[in-house]
């Protein structure tokens, strides 16, 4: 009797925990689609508010948004004063600046009901995987060609950590970032809306360096040395003929300059006539003291400066780097910088990077976003020495071998503050701050596999998986009732409990439900019924041998439980191996299968036995419907 009471208490506790985790999933928050109008910007956007974002309503639109939408009916209008989140800006058609509070009208187009639950209910949600929710799947390979085995392991581990930090700051909910093999990293970003931005954010090495700009004498020597080398080796490089055939052109665009002499004569200086004597210098145009290369010459320019021989003939300690593309200040061109190869300071000394809006009258930053850099104590000391020793010279801020800006040092900077200017928009400024704060990757990463799953395809997968599970469940239920009668009905009750327990445990573990996971649930349904079939057949054998109903049930469970345990344990071992060595979807299948095996053993052996005992105890039976 004590054993029966203990078993009953265990069953009650298990199903109370199941209800605790599943009821919030059933009682979903408001789900609405709204048309929002930004009045003083004259632009409209369509935005869908899902359950997760609804609960953040007060954060997104102001403290009263969640209350207003909860009370609103379809076609009602809601007025909200608040800031729109960044990820909504990408859904906006038109150029809208949301840097300050705006008055927004939201019209409720579609809405479902909301069930209020006590605050002590679980706040966890059953997450949907990439294949069900939509998003991006990437496989990255860390370039470790020149690294030792130990260095490769450290580089991959460090890259995984840094990519995780970047994605966390990017704001993707429940990403998956894990190692595959020795030098690959799997990245899954469910619900991602801006795939291009994410790829750039993940793949950027973010190697930050401070280098001094070479003086005019060294620049002239470098250009002359390259011209002489190309003239002497003209026949060695076929593409040099393209340069010789190009016609001379002048720089017609008015360009803004960061140089100290930008107020000097700004008349575009026409390049010298193209000839074999000036193959390199003919690719470069001069504006004030700014060197630029036009977009049409950019490929040839890169081929030349990347030649190992060119690096050998250059003056010692001088390198050539391109500036970042800036169509506003340099339409159709890229700035060219001759720098000293000595790295004065690196990103290792960076304490923080913050996005700010420029104040004052300086045209470089006034009302424009820029990234403010704060160096640590050691970095501040080095920065003060560098700026103090090179007043009136230029200091280039280089990110991944691209010059971001090259301001003139006007005075010694003691506070360890620097800034990156010339950033076209707030989004790029935020991304730059993210990669700088997360740190630079120890080695370059290459995207070797990319797959994007749209939300529509994810919705179709959910429908297909739900239909498959439902059809399978209905067929099994009907079969069990027809073949085993009342006993089959008891098995069906346990089967429903099995599915509920699986979903509750997945929610409790913060696991993601994927299509392979749904397949695991369907497989578990069959395995759970298989356990009951073994038990029922053993009970039938006992009844045929003349045993009483009570004895037949007890003996039937005793005889079947070992076989059931053997079969399920071997399957569980397989699931553990799949989880240990698998990735992504395979792991999702393994988790669901493992949970399903344990749940099916509990419901098939414990729950159904308790129901049988309850039926027999209430009314002793001479026969059993089985």
The 402-405 sheet, strands edge to edge: 345-346, 208-212, 395-399, 402-405
Contact predicate 532/491, CB 8 Å? yes
Q: In this structure, are strands 184-190 and 208-212 parallel, antiparallel, or unpaired? A: unpaired
pLDDT at 175: 80
At 320, list the tokens.
């050539």
CB-CB neighbours of 273 under 10 Å: 10
3-state SS, 34-69, equals: EEEEEHHHCEEEEEEECHHHHHCHHHHHCCCHHHHH
The domains located in the chain, with CATH, are 2-24+454-618 (1.20.1640.10), 29-111 (no CATH), 135-205+445-453 (3.30.70.3400), 210-438 (3.30.1360.200)
Torsion, Cα 455 457 463 467, to 10 degrees, reads -160
What confidence tens digit (pLDDT) does each residue in 496-533 have? 999 899 989 988 887 778 888 888 888 888 888 888 89
- Burial, 1: exposed, middle or buried (Cβ in 10 Å; 0-12, 13-18, 19+)? exposed
Q: Pull the structure tokens for residue 502.
A: 């699986």
Angle of CA points 296, 302, 308, to nearest 5°: 155
**Residue 178 φ then ψ, to 5°:** -150, 155
Strand partners, 82: 102
Spell out, as residue ranges, where the chain has pLDDT lower than 70.
1-3, 25-123, 171, 173-174, 193-194, 244-275, 287-289, 453-459, 461-462, 583-584, 617
Q: What is the pLDDT of residues 161-208, one digit of tens each?
A: 888 888 877 767 668 888 888 888 988 888 776 677 788 888 888 889
pLDDT tens digits, 201-253: 888 888 899 999 999 999 999 999 999 999 998 888 888 777 766 644 433 34
């Amino acid at each position: 009797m004590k054993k029966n009471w203990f078993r009953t208490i265990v069953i009650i506790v298990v199903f109370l925990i199941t209800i605790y985790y599943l009821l919030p999933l059933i009682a979903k928050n408001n789900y609405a689609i709204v048309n929002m109008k930004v009045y003083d910007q004259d632009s409209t956007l369509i935005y869908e508010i899902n359950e997760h974002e609804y609960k953040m309503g007060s954060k997104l639109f102001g403290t009263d948004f969640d209350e207003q939408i909860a009370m609103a009916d379809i076609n009602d209008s809601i007025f909200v004063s608040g800031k729109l989140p960044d990820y909504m800006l990408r859904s906006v058609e038109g150029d809208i600046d949301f840097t300050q509070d705006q008055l927004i009208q939201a019209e409720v187009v579609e809405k479902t009901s909301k069930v209020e639950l006590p605050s002590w209910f679980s706040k966890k949600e059953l997450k949907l995987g990439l294949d069900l929710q939509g998003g991006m799947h990437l496989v990255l390979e860390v370039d470790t060609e020149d690294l030792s085995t130990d260095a490769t392991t450290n580089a991959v581990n460090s890259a995984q950590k840094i990519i995780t930090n970047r994605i966390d700051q990017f704001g993707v909910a429940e990403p998956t970032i894990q190692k595959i093999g020795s030098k690959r990293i799997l990245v899954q970003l469910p619900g991602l809306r801006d795939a291009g931005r994410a790829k750039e954010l993940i793949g950027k090495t973010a190697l930050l360096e401070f280098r001094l700009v070479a003086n005019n004498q060294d620049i002239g020597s470098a250009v002359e040395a390259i011209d002489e080398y190309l003239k002497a080796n003209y026949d060695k490089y076929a593409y040099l003929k393209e340069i010789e055939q190009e016609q001379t052109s002048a720089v017609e665009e008015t360009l803004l300059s960061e140089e100290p002499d930008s107020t000097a004569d700004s008349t575009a200086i026409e390049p010298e006539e193209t000839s074999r004597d000036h193959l390199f210098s003919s690719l470069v145009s001069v504006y004030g003291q700014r060197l630029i290369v036009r977009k049409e010459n950019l490929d040839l320019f890169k081929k030349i400066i990347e030649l190992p021989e060119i690096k050998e003939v250059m003056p010692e300690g001088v390198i050539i780097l391109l500036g970042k593309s800036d169509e506003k200040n340099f339409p159709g061109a890229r700035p060219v910088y001759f720098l000293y190869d000595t790295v004065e300071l690196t990103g290792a000394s960076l304490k923080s990077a913050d996005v700010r809006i420029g104040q004052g009258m300086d045209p470089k930053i006034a009302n424009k976003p820029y990234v403010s850099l704060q160096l640590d104590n050691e970095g501040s000391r080095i920065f003060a020495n560098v700026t103090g020793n090179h007043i009136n010279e230029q200091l280039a801020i280089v990110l991944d071998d691209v010059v971001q800006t090259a301001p003139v040092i006007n005075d010694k900077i003691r506070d360890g503050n620097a800034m990156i200017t010339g950033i076209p928009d707030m989004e790029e400024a935020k991304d730059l701050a993210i990669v700088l704060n997360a740190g630079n990757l120890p080695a370059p990463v290459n995207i070797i596999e990319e797959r994007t799953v749209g939300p529509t395809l994810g919705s179709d997968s959910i429908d297909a998986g739900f239909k498959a599970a439902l059809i399978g469940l209905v067929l099994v239920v009907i079969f069990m009732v027809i073949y085993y009668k009342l006993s089959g009905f008891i098995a069906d009750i346990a089967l429903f409990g099995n599915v509920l327990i699986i979903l509750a445990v997945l929610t409790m573990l913060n696991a993601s439900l994927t299509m392979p996971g749904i397949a695991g649930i369907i497989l578990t349904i069959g395995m759970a019924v298989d356990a009951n079939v073994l038990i029922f057949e053993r009970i039938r054998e006992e009844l045929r041998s003349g045993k009483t109903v009570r004895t037949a049930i007890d003996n039937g469970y005793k005889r079947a439980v070992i076989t059931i345990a053997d079969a399920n344990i071997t399957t569980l071992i397989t699931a553990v191996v799949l989880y240990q060595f698998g990735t992504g979807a395979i792991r999702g299948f393994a988790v669901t299968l493992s949970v399903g095996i344990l749940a099916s053993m509990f419901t098939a052996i414990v729950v159904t036995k308790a129901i049988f005992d309850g039926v027999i105890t209430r009314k002793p039976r001479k026969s059993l419907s089985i």
